[in-house]
Structure 1
Amino acid sequence: MKAASISKGERIQSLDVLRGFSLLGILMVNIFDFSGPQLYRTSLVQSGGGLDRLVEIFVFVFAQASFYPLFSFLFGAGGVMFYKRIGDKGLLPERFFARRMTGLLIIGVLHAFFIWHGDILISYALIGFLFMLFIEKSAKALAVWSLSLIFIPNILFSLLLAGDGAVPNADDNTERITAVYQSGSFSEIMGQRAEDWFYVNNPIMAPFIVLSILPMFLLGAYAMKRGWFERSPSEETIKKWLVIALITGPSGILIKTMPVLDPQSGLWSYLHQSIGGPLLTMFYITAILAAVQKLGFKKVYKPFAYAGRASMSNYLLQSLILTLLFYSYGFGLYGTMTSFQAILTGTGVYIILLAASYYWFKRFEQGPAERWWRWFVYRRS
């Protein structure tokens, strides 16, 4: 039997809504890296006061470290759905999933080294091969593995930081980096982009990257196997979502606020990323799933679903638009915007993506990047 990508009728709207929402959160965090050398600063909260500081604190608490985990969660859920659809056709899901990860890796490499250094797709693709070892395990096993990988390593690292956990000093190369992106040649920007990518994606950081992504893959796979994305979930499931939201929301916000109150603490800075981020991720997931099922504000969440249907295309397109806006081969605005101006710019770009997605899907079934990915997975010999 011939394999095929998911049809419009098979799409799960709650997944698309969450994907569209995650694109907004990712953009609100990444806009600081598109517009300036945020990668080499110790904290997103840099301004001394005023509207800029309020914007930075809001993004730091409510978005940073919570939306890439959301994307990872959805990746895991989608992986289970992919495996099931291929397996139901009597085919080998491992073969097609391996192709899927290879195609994702190709897209990620092009994105990271020719458009923007902050690519996450390379990590998703490589960790996706590791995910294949877990994807067919039971829901219970997936939950145990996920929670163990989230809490055990992070508790151990936290104990180490509790003794002498000062925030490291910021990198002093920000002026040089700003000059490269603001007025450097394309080849200079290419070199800086590669340097930035390797600054994060290196052997020392690799275990931390795996431990931040793989557990959320597993948690998403667990949720899919537990029926979280069924079109008509039971009242019991919805009540469980609300309980999870009531627990994870306040606890996540509390942990993520602590580095603002104690900015010199390396421990709180670490917990903000490793524990607070995933907790708030689970709040967003469960609260949105419950809202979609119970409140029915279709006009509010439908635009997110359009953006989510082309989540990869929109992720790549936002990078293309913003690098053209901020880098020297475009408008050269790198390092010139305040935090408030950057957030307004990011919001404007997201609104453009929503409108583009709406009109695109009036004519087409898939986004352009998704269409190429489908061809690579299903039609390559």
Structure 2
Amino acid sequence: MSANSSRLDAIDALRGFAIVSIMLLHNIEHFDFYFVPSGLPAWLMAVDKTIWDSLFFLFGGKSYAIFALLFGLTFYLQDHRREQRGEDFRARFAWRMVLLLGFGLFNSMFYHGDILSIYAVLGLALIPVARLRSGVVFAIAIFLLLQPHAWIEFFQALPAPDEKLADPASWAYFGRAEKYMAHGSAWEVWYGNLTNGKIGVIRWSWENGRVFQIPALFMLGMLAGRKSLFIPSDSNRLFWRKTLAIAVLAFIPLYLLKTWPEVWHIGAALRRPLLVIVTSWSNVAFMAVLVSSFTLLSYSGNWLGIFSPLGRMSLTSYVVQSIVGTSIYYGFGLGMYQYTGASFALAIGLVLALLQRQFSAWWLRRHKQGPLETLWHKATWIGAHSEAVPNIGVNIPKSSL
């Protein structure tokens, strides 16, 4: 196996793993429709709580971060290839983000928690840093990861640390969404998600520091591409082992602080921004645990390649799971939110993930790319003299890198 082939297999598998973990989380959440069925026996409620806590511990706030990291890596590979041909990819990338925004808005009709539209806007942050030295890019990424806005809120709260805070603005939007998710027609859900729901998600992303964290992870992914960190080698194996050790050591205290903020003994006005900061850092640390562990395991064989078909069709897989999932749980569809706790929803998610994986494998035996990936690729390079490499996870030909 060549270095390029191995790199792409590992990236596809990692992206596919993230797709599966997102699928499982979205199912136990009923696709952002939080509802606990009544009348469940005590033992089943205990099982549901264990499943809920375990999945959020493993994947909550981490799966989307893996996608963000790989998004930046993808940008680097596309940009670097065009640069080697004497071309500048950045203008085409901006157009590519416009197209991704379109996919994201379509997906937002079904699932207001869509991440594609947010990636499309924040992905533009890669354009001004693409030609900067790695040290400068790394410094910018660290600054963003520090959550500067949350620190501003913290210092602003110092004069009145015990002041009672109003509920976050996003909560009102999510409260209104529950009504049309439960009782609205398909049209009411689609309209509500694109208006009320989308505003709520944008506000939530700002309130929880995602607006800073996501572009930082994009930049770190770009730097990982520059350093060829996903190519199997002794030096990279050592890098990922060190990363795993450091990430574990960082995650443990951060997780404890995040889980029991009452031990901080500070006022609510100070606690809220600090909790945003600590939660963000905790999620990034555990994301590094997952990525480094997955990468090291990929060196021991190709058995993790079971996730690769999903990774190669990540755009199609992500949008399809929104359409199918909301049709299963929301009131305009089967209304299964009324009957499924975390355990039953997890079972549904596992079945859907397996079906998606089998469909992706079947499709890719007959086509070079997934259906939405093909559309995105062709639209990206419309008017160009020759087509360039499509997105990783959208079946990049291994011979092209």
Partner of 2:202: 201
Partner of 1:90: 86
The one-letter amino acid of 1:237's match is N
Pair 1:165–1:196, CA change in 2 (3 A):
farther
Partner of 2:228: 227
Contiguous gaps of at least 5 residues in structure 2: 36-42, 263-267, 385-401
Aligned match for 2:317, one of 314, 318, 322: 314
The one-letter amino acid of 2:236's match is T
CA distance in 2, matches of 1:352, 1:92: 39
CA distance in 2, matches of 1:70, 1:204: 17
Partner of 1:215: 216
Contiguous gaps of at least 5 residues in structure 1: 1-7, 40-46
1:261 Cα shift? 4.2
CA distance in 1, matches of 2:147, 2:174: 35
Partner of 2:342: 339
CA distance in 1, matches of 2:363, 2:221: 28
Partner of 2:236: 237
1:218 Cα shift? 0.5
CA distance in 1, matches of 2:164, 2:20: 32
Query: Which range is displaced more, 207-216 or 129-138?
Result: 207-216
1:360 Cα shift? 1.3
Aligned-partner SS, 2:132: coil
Partner of 1:115: 110
Pair 1:35–1:207, CA change in 2 (3 A):
closer
Query: Which range is displaced more, 75-84 or 203-212?
Result: 203-212
1:379 Cα shift? 2.2
CA distance in 2, matches of 1:97, 1:16: 21
1:55 and 2:56 equivalent?
no
CA distance in 2, matches of 1:96, 1:11: 24
CA distance in 2, matches of 1:36, 1:156: 28
1:73 Cα shift? 0.5
Pair 1:366–1:165, CA change in 2 (3 A):
farther
The one-letter amino acid of 1:316's match is V
Give the TM-score of the pair, scaled to structure 2: 0.80
Pair 1:250–1:353, CA change in 2 (3 A):
farther
Partner of 1:124: 119
CA distance in 2, matches of 1:334, 1:369: 29
CA distance in 2, matches of 1:312, 1:49: 34
1:81 and 2:87 equivalent?
no
CA distance in 1, matches of 2:383, 2:252: 46
Is the CA contact (8 Å cut-off) linking 2:328 and 2:334 kept in structure 1?
Answer: yes
Alignment of structure 1 residues 165-204 onto 2, 5 Å? 171=171, 177-193=177-193, 194-202=195-203
Q: How many residues align?
A: 361
Residues 76-125 of structure 1 show CA distances to partners (whole Å, capped at 9, x for unaligned) of 0100001011222232212221221111111111111x221111111111
Query: Which range is displaced more, 326-335 or 58-67?
Result: 326-335
1:180 Cα shift? 2.3
Query: Which range is displaced more, 148-157 or 54-63?
Result: 148-157
Aligned match for 1:156, one of 134, 151, 159: 151
Aligned match for 2:298, one of 292, 295, 300: 292
Aligned-partner SS, 1:201: helix
Identity level (%) = 20
1:207 Cα shift? 9.2
CA distance in 1, matches of 2:353, 2:204: 34
CA distance in 2, matches of 1:204, 1:52: 27
The one-letter amino acid of 1:278's match is V
Residues 226-258 of structure 1 show CA distances to partners (whole Å, capped at 9, x for unaligned) of 11122x33x122112111111213432543354
1:221 Cα shift? 0.6
Pair 1:26–1:274, CA change in 2 (3 A):
same
CA distance in 1, matches of 2:163, 2:222: 34
CA distance in 1, matches of 2:112, 2:71: 21
Residues 40-95 of structure 1 show CA distances to partners (whole Å, capped at 9, x for unaligned) of xxxxxxx9961121112112222111111111000001000010112222322122
CA distance in 1, matches of 2:31, 2:313: 24
Partner of 1:3: none
Partner of 1:349: 352
The one-letter amino acid of 1:210's match is V
CA distance in 2, matches of 1:349, 1:286: 27
